[in-house]
A and B are shown apart, each in its own frame.
Chain A
Amino acid sequence: MGNAVRVSGLTKTYRLYESSIDRALDVFRRTDRSRKFTALNNISLDFPTGEVVAILGKNGSGKSTLLKIITGVASQTSGDVEVNGRVSAMLELTSGFDKELSGEENIYLRALAMGIPRDEVEAKKQEIIDFADIGTHINQPVRTYSSGMKARLGFAVSVSVDPDILIVDEVLAVGDDVFKLKCIDKMQHFRKEGKTILFVSHSLFTVKAFCTRGVWLDKGVVMAEGELGDVITQYEDFLREERRRAKAVAPKDEAPPMDKSDVVKITGFRMHNQAGEKTTNFKYGEDVLFEFRYEVKRPVEKLTFCFTVRNAEYHEVFMADKQNPDNTIASTVGKHTLRVRLRSPNLLAGTYALSGELWNNEAAFYVGYSNKRPFTIEQDEFIGTGITRIDYEFEND
């Protein structure tokens, strides 16, 4: 499979000026009076066709700059960008709407600016209106719209161009849940058609639900790239570390916020097989075991444990009942070990993820012991496809 987008040695330097007039005068000067800010530093990346790539990173890490350069909105300082296919970018859904014009007129306005000829807009108008789903409001001025309605209309126009590569920059943050689901649904549809999607979102939840690959940028440099699971794990570790460091430098005179690890501290998580060997590969039908140590530092009442198994797309396969009193574990101050056995879980071959936490419902306290830790099931004989085996019998006459 080829690459939809290929970026090599990409660098973007912004020129910053004390006063804007200096930028104009610099055109005629031999010297350059600007300060330089490097947003992207010698980045090389491949975005394979048909993948949904999440671009992760904190604010100011260069994500938007990268997307803008790939889109063609901004130009790079050096390096090459190779794009194969028609790009539709959603850098902002509602920009360029005229608030006095009606929704329908704004469809024309946006579509024309995107370079779609008038007759083509005419043909696609109904489809756009249907997708936006804002009823008779379509004939009202856009200034009367809610932000969700504006976002829906903008999204509808943007996807109507039938792109090969869709670039989505944090635009799902606006709008309600129904809108988000609809957008994700549409993007899933694109994905099935083998289109490439580059996706920026600060909602790791959305990213996990939807992306297949990940790129993590920090300060204009690629920190990690590859399978989403790997990248996201590294990124989450980084965020945790960052948070911990931020806490460490926080002023001491304030009462230190109580940290979870001051109550219950978890150490030494491992998965193993029946023989007690540490592994994350299991045979089909074999018991999956895991254990971890935890230290209770302050007395907690009724500590419950639960676990979740998800499939490779992070859809839930099974989550243990969090309210079940049978899952209450020892919570006296001191060190404990918890051993869990998933009895022949009947999962079919594939990658799964194990998450779990200890928690106390009354105090809304929880501490995780495993965060989507991948494990695989191997299978020697083929018995069917899907996630789990269903026992069946039949009779006929």
Chain B
Amino acid sequence: MRTAIMSLRDIVVTNIRYFRRTLDMARVDLVKRYSGSILGIFWGIVRPMVFISVYWFAIQVGLRGNQPVDGAPFLLWFLPGIVCWFFISDALTIGGAAIRANSHLVTKMVYPVATIPVFTVLSLYFVHLMLVGIVVVIFILSGYGLSVYIFELFYYTLCTLTFAFVVSTMLSTLTAVSHDVGHMVKSIMTALFWLTPIIWSVDTLHGIVRYIVMLNPVCYLVQGYRNAFVLERWFFVEWEYTVYFWVLMTALTLFTSFLFAKLHKEFSDIL
């Protein structure tokens, strides 16, 4: 416990101290990810857009599931959740491999390792912000409009970023040490996608199953984005769920700090 708290302090101090460099690196990371392509960063938007269109087509046209969900047209109901998911999915797969992917920073120069997952997540977050912007525009253009609940998005952005920073640091620490963890994350992603209420509503579930699904913190975030856009529900209304989420985050943060403290000195020996 002591180790975890000391290490958490170190990680936070390091990140504050090198924050400018982290921002620069996030920008560079973004450019690097799409380097060599003509559309560049726009691929970051095109890819999810294609994904969304295909899902929308399959569900609305193919499965004839075009009845409104929670009082909103399916597409509008679907958009906030899937956009949130894209960010989380990238944070887990790309952010979760950040240290290994940037091994040259670890083994060939003196670089604050604790900021590597952070700048990777931030570079993903730039793309996410653009997607959120597009969703906002779609809501306005569709005539559905936005309500005061949209301000709740700031709170859920904070939750999502916290989750992304913590889990990407945890996973990238583990993937740096073991390739197996990397493969495991990739194979779990599909399962996580279907087990999280992204293309289906959590309200269709009842009893114990509903609570088991809600144990998944990603569910809290996806529901949160939906709260802000269509459900019009404040985060403190379901306060038990909010408390659960933050308790879980605290535990994960401490676990991650402990892991990092034990393993980060060995990164340069392993990578």
- Which residues of A approach B to under 8 Å, CB–CB? 14-15, 20-21, 23-24, 27, 68, 71-75, 87, 89, 91-92, 95-96, 98, 100-101, 105, 108-109, 112-115, 117-118, 141
Contact = CB atoms under 8 A, between A and B. Distances in A.
A115 B262 CA distance: 26
Contacts of B266: 15, 23
Contacts of B258: 27
B32 A89 contact: no
A338 B161 CA distance: 82
B181 A74 contact: no
B110 A141 contact: no
B118 interface: no
A350 to B, nearest CB: 40
A65 to B, nearest CB: 9
Nearest to B258: A27
A95 B103 CA distance: 9
B36 A115 contact: no
B108 A95 contact: yes
B270 interface: yes
B24 A112 contact: yes
A115 B110 CA distance: 9
A114 B105 CA distance: 9
B31 to A, nearest CB: 7
Contacts, number: 85
B261 to A, nearest CB: 9
Given A23-B270, A71-B110, A98 B262 contact: no
Nearest to A141: B36
A291 to B, nearest CB: 52
Interface string B181-223: 1000000000000000000000000000000000000000000
A115 B21 CA distance: 7
Contact of B109 (A21, A23, A89, A141): A89
A112 B265 CA distance: 23
Given A112-B25, A118-B24, A74 B269 contact: yes
Given A20-B177, A73-B108, A118-B24, 17 more contacts: A14-B269, A20-B180, A21-B178, A23-B263, A24-B174, A24-B177, A75-B265, A89-B109, A89-B110, A91-B109, A96-B105, A101-B36, A112-B28, A113-B109, A114-B109, A115-B21, A141-B36
Nearest to B20: A117
Centre residue among A73, A92, A105 by max chain B CB count within 10 A: A73
B32 A95 contact: no
A184 to B, nearest CB: 22
B107 A73 contact: yes
A91 B108 contact: yes
B111 interface: yes
Nearest to B268: A74
23 contacts: A14-B269, A20-B177, A21-B180, A23-B266, A23-B270, A73-B107, A73-B108, A73-B110, A75-B265, A87-B110, A89-B110, A91-B108, A92-B104, A96-B108, A100-B35, A101-B32, A112-B21, A113-B25, A113-B28, A113-B105, A113-B111, A114-B109, A115-B18
A145 B233 CA distance: 57
B40 to A, nearest CB: 11
B230 interface: no
A134 B105 CA distance: 25
A91 B262 CA distance: 26
Contacts of B269: 14-15, 74
A72 B181 CA distance: 27
B32 A109 contact: yes
Nearest to A13: B269
Interface in B21-44: 21, 24-25, 28, 31-32, 35-36
B24 A23 contact: no
Contact of B178 (A20, A95, A100, A118): A20
Contacts of B21: 112, 115
Contact of B35 (A15, A20, A101, A108): A101
A89 B108 CA distance: 8
Contacts of B18: 115
B106 interface: yes
B177 A73 contact: no
A71 B108 CA distance: 9
Contacts of A101: 31-32, 35-36
Of the candidates A23, A91, A113, A118, the one having the most CB atoms from chain B within 10 angstroms of its own CB is: A113
B179 interface: yes
Interface string B47-74: 0000000000000000000000000000
